[in-house]
Structures are given as structure tokens and as C-alpha cells.
Structure 1
Amino acid sequence: MAEQILEKTQLLFGKNHPDTLLAIGNLALTYSELGQFQKAKELEVLVLEKCTNFWEKITQEHWEFRKAKEFVVLVLEKHTKLLREDHPDTLLAMGNLAGTYLNLGEFRKAEELELLVLEKQKKLLGEDHPDTLLAMNNLALTYSDLGEFQKAKGLEVLVLEKQKKFLGEDYPNTVLAMGNLASTYHTLGDFNKALGLEVEVLQKQRQILGDKHLDTILAMENLAKTYQKLGKQEEMEEFQQVIKDTKKSW
């Protein structure tokens, strides 16, 4: 069973995903219980190497984002001083700093800036402007990072409604907004609403990108997870098989 779980996890998430490393560790533990210590050692060495590489990469990225933050703060200060707080370039600098805070895990600081950007974009450009919708979407993602999914849902519903109205249902940003809202419904346990959106996302991804595109596979994986939550085992296994067959054909 541990071997099967590892095989499926690798197919779904790849060889370096944390869930895959957990599955490798569980298989190593099973080998140890069976007295097959050489097999266990080989897997444990593999997990250790991957974890070490992962944390080295994270540490390097964190240092780079810290240096970036110093520069972006300076840019924002200059824009505010030379232009004005409502100038589009100043708002862009605010958004960039908010993104840097997100990468550093400083979500409350990001939220504070994103709220300010959204307020000013609404005033300058109106609630239906693409830049305003982008600001709403960014704030919704930050709410998700903070675990405030009801707030995220409220913004995501609004963004999706406006994207459908002004860009059409097949526009890439509209499909992305559907996926974001579906993910939030899934997290909130509203699996039927998530299912309806995920079916629509998959249909559009197949139409726009084809069956073998990575985003289409991701849409299938999300749908399979929702079928599992709804107890629809047959549908879940059907999609898992399609995913497996598609990845083999890459």
C-alpha cells in the first residue's frame, strides 16, 4: 500500500513535492519495520537530500526577497515624494512592495498595502477597470494566505462576475478567477459549489489549451479531489486514470 501511495503521489504532484517526500518517508519506515534496512536507508538518504536542497533554496530566496524589499521600499518613497500617492506609478510601486511582503510571509503588511491600492484604484479608475479587478484578486489571495477564506470568497465572487461581464467566460483571466473561487469553496467545505466551477474550468481548459496541457491536468486533479470529498469514488478514479495516462504520454 505504501508503494502504491508513493507511485500515485509522484504522478499527481511530482518527485519533489512535500507530499511525495512524506510518502517516501512512510515507505522507508515500513521497510525498517520489515527488517529491510538497506532499502530503508536508500530512501531516507533520498529524502534527506531533497529536504536539504529544498531548504537551501528557500533560504536563498528569502535572503533575495529581503534585499528586494529594501529596494522596493526606496522606490515607493521616491514615487510618493516626487509624484503623489494617487499616481499610477506610485500605486504600482505599492503593489510591488505588497508582493514582496507576500513572498516574505508578511501577510498583514501586504494586506494593508493592498487595501490601500484597491481603495485608490476604485476612486481613480472605477470598480470595473482591469487594474481594479487585479487589485481585488491580489487582496483575495492574501486573505487566503491569512486563512480568512470568507473575505477571500466575497472578493473572488465579485471578480468573477465582473470578468464574465467585461471579458467573457472563455477569457484566461476569467477561467483563472473561476479556479480561484472553486479552490476557496473547496477549502470552506462547500464541495458542490466547488464541483460546479471545477467542471466548467476543466471544460474551458480542454477547449483552450488541450487535454495534455499542465493547467488542464491541474484542473483534473482539483476535480478528482472534490469528487473524493463528495464520496464519488468512481468519478475520482476515472479522472486519476486519465491523469496517469496523460502523464505517461508526455
Structure 2
Amino acid sequence: MANLASTYRNQGRWKEAEELEVQVMETRKRVLGEEHPDTLTSMANLASTYRNQGRWNEAEELGVQVMEMSSRVLGGEHPSTLTSMANLASTYRNQGRWKEAEELDVQVMETRKRVLGEEHPDTLTSMANLVSTYRNQGRWKEAEELDVQVMETSSRVLGEGHPDTLNSMANLAHTWAFLSRKEEAITLMEKCFKLQSHILGPNNPHTEFSYKALNKWQKGN
């Protein structure tokens, strides 16, 4: 049932996914108990479906439960607990609750650095999430500092052509554009666009987004 719900989620069939996920969650609560890891997973899946429908209050309510129970049962440093914290931070970001998002983002990033190491892909993802929170608050210098770290580390660890590295390049270019460092932004985005065109293809949404930004900056906008 959970696997079929996942298939529905990937098709954007949220109502059908939700119906199955509620059944799975309620049955697991009854059979396995509220604090069983499988029950927590089913709650997290339902919260994800709520997020994808923009139902932030319901997503938040479940997200808080998952995070608190996961922290108590699995421990504050368990990967599932950190994922639940990152998901709740995402919910806060989508509600414009930047301070609460930032607080969780920092916790996740610091814990992953300590447990997984500074160069682990999950650590880089958490750094990128914090950058997003900084950008949404207009804190461009802090965003830039982290952007550079993410791009350089990602390039070294994952390779220059990895999708995550390309995303980090595009993010840094946008940060530089907001800081009025247009020449640097254009140079980096040109490099990013060429790599995306070659690796992802010219019709990929990320490639098209980079092309539009590059075109806009080159025209002086």
C-alpha cells in the first residue's frame, strides 16, 4: 500500500496517495504502535503529500510529531530524525517562517557535519537548504559564503557535472546577481548553462531556467 502510494505521489495523484497513506498510517499505529519506525515513516510520507498540496498546517502538525517521536525513539543524530527536521524546516520556509526554518536548518547542518562529515552529500544538501533560508531573508552575504562552500565541495566530491553541483553553481550565480556582481554571475551561469545543456539536455527545466536568467542578465536586467 505504501509503495502504491509512492507511485501515486510520483504521478502527482495526491488524493489517491493520501487515501492509501492514511490507511497505512492508521493500521501501523494500531498494529505496531505510534513510535515504531515504520509508523513514523508512514506519517512522514503523509506529511510529504500534504506539503505537495500546499496544506502547510496539516504538514506541520504531522512533521512536528514525527520529529519529536523520532528524536525520542531513534535519537537526535539518527538520519531519520535529521530528515524529519529538514522536512519541517521546509514546511516553515513555505510558510515564510524564516527564523524557525533557520533554527532547524542550522541544527541539521551542524549535526550532519559532525556525524557524516563536511563533504557528505546530505551535509551539502542541508547547507543548501540554509542558503535558501538566508536568501529568502535577503541575507545575501551569508548566503554567498555558504553557496561558495557548497559549490566548491560539491565540485570536488561529486564532480563538476553532477546535478547537485550544477544546482549549486546556478544558486551562487543568482546570489551574485542579487549582490550586483553581474559579471561574475554571468561568467558562472554561462559555465553552468553549457554543462547543463550537455549533461541534462537543452529542454531540461533546470537548463531552461539557467538560460532565461543568463539572457536577462546579459541584456542588463
Q: Please say whether Structure 1 and Structure 2 have the same fold, judged by a TM-score greater than 0.5.
A: yes
- Work out the CA distance in 1 between the residues paired with 2:16 and 2:197: 42
In structure 2, what is the equivalent of residue 66 of structure 1? Answer: 15
1:11-90 aligned within 5 A: 61=11, 64-90=13-39
The count of corresponding residues between Structure 1 and Structure 2 is 190
1:197-216 aligned within 5 A: 197-216=146-165
- Work out the CA distance in 2 between the residues paired with 1:146 and 1:162: 24
- Work out the CA distance in 2 between the residues paired with 1:142 and 1:126: 22
In structure 2, what is the equivalent of residue 195 of structure 1? Answer: 144
The answer to whether the 8 A contact 1:163-1:174 is kept is yes
- Work out the CA distance in 1 between the residues paired with 2:130 and 2:140: 12
- Work out the CA distance in 2 between the residues paired with 1:111 and 1:230: 33
Mark the structure with the bigger radius of gyration: 1
1:164-203 aligned within 5 A: 164-203=113-152
2:111 to 147, 159, 162: 162
Question: By how many angstroms is 1:214 displaced?
Answer: 2.5
- Work out the CA distance in 1 between the residues paired with 2:194 and 2:20: 47
| TM-aligned CA distance change 1:213 to 1:128, over 3 Å | closer
Which has the higher mean CA deviation after the structures are superposed, 193-202 or 239-248? 239-248
In structure 2, what is the equivalent of residue 118 of structure 1? Answer: 67
Question: By how many angstroms is 1:158 displaced?
Answer: 0.6
- Which digits, 9 at most, give the CA deviation of each residue in 1:25-83, with x for residues without a partner? xxxxxxxxxxxxxxxxxxxxxxxxxxxxxxxxxxx955x21011111111111111122
Question: By how many angstroms is 1:86 displaced?
Answer: 1.3
In structure 1, what is the equivalent of residue 83 of structure 2? Answer: 134
In structure 1, what is the equivalent of residue 214 of structure 2? Answer: none
**How much identity, in percent, do the aligned residues show?**
39
The answer to whether the 8 A contact 1:66-1:104 is kept is no
Q: Which TM-score applies when normalising by structure 1?
A: 0.72
Q: Which TM-score applies when normalising by structure 2?
A: 0.81
CA RMSD of aligned residues (A): 1.6
In structure 1, what is the equivalent of residue 4 of structure 2? Answer: none
- Work out the CA distance in 2 between the residues paired with 1:81 and 1:247: 48
Give unpaired runs (5+ residues) of structure 1: 1-59
The answer to whether the 8 A contact 1:102-1:142 is kept is yes
Give unpaired runs (5+ residues) of structure 2: 1-9, 200-221
In structure 2, what is the equivalent of residue 147 of structure 1? Answer: 96
In structure 1, what is the equivalent of residue 215 of structure 2? Answer: none
